């Protein structure tokens, strides 16, 4: 089986979908942000604050190379900017979780831990800037994806069933 890579904007639910997928299918999941935080032994927020975005993107590229070389049969959830790594398509089948910005924002602010969800995301500190970033990225996510799944107003169980129908495990 090829790896499955979940891409999409911050807050769209890549992590929740990955956790549900592990429940429904015989698959192990890893997350690129978790890998980066372990490698660096500090949070993404700290990495951005201390060393800036370029430094973070360089680590993403390093993780991408390792994934391509060493990871098989795995579900990989990613940070919202990971889709830009040069070798993305070589890592596995790319699944884009798609939803309009307003729905994503609503999903975050309605979450019981909304404040911490926003705080830990350096690129979601200002709603207008986040919306602009979303508008820039949206066509690029679609373009690079092998499969696009619309997730608006769907529960995770349904989303995972749709992914499993479209992607062979």
Q: Which of 121, 134, 159, 167 is close enough to bind ligand S3P by CB under 6 A? A: 121
Span near ligand S3P by CB under 6 A; candidates 68-76, 88-96, 121-129, 149-157: 121-129
* CB nearer ligand S3P, residue 26 or residue 32: 32
- C-alpha distances in angstroms, 2 versus 44, 93, 138? 28, 7, 25
* CB nearer ligand S3P, residue 117 or residue 154: 117
CB 93 within 8 A of CB 6: no
Does residue 13 touch ligand S3P according to CB under 6 A?
Answer: no
Does residue 92 touch ligand S3P according to CB under 6 A?
Answer: no
CB 99 within 8 A of CB 10: no
Residue nearest ligand S3P by beta-carbon distance: 79
Does residue 81 touch ligand S3P according to CB under 6 A?
Answer: yes
Does residue 80 touch ligand S3P according to CB under 6 A?
Answer: yes
* CB nearer ligand S3P, residue 26 or residue 47: 47
* CB nearer ligand S3P, residue 79 or residue 92: 79
* CB nearer ligand S3P, residue 12 or residue 163: 12
| Distance in Å, CB of 81 to ligand S3P, minimum | 3
Does residue 33 touch ligand S3P according to CB under 6 A?
Answer: yes
Residue with tokens 């949206």: 138
What residues make contact with ligand S3P under the rule CB under 6 A? Answer: 10, 33, 44, 79-81, 121-123
């Amino acid at each position: 089986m090829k790896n499955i890579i979940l891409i999409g904007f911050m807050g769209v639910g890549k992590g929740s979908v990955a956790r549900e997928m592990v429940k429904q299918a015989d698959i192990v999941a890893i997350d690129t942000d978790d890998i980066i935080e372990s490698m660096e032994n500090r949070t993404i927020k700290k990495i951005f604050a201390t060393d800036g975005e370029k430094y973070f993107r360089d680590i993403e590229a390093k993780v991408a190379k390792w994934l391509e070389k060493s990871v098989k049969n795995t579900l990989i959830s990613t940070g919202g900017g990971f889709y830009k790594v040069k070798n993305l398509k070589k890592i596995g089948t790319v699944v884009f979780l798609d939803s309009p910005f307003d729905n994503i924002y609503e999903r975050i602010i309605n979450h019981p831990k909304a404040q911490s969800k926003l705080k830990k995301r350096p690129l979601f500190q200002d709603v207008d800037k986040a919306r602009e970033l979303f508008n820039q990225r949206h066509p690029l996510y679609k373009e690079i994806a092998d499969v696009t799944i619309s997730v608006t107003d769907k529960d995770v169980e349904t989303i995972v069933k749709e992914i499993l129908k479209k992607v062979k495990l």
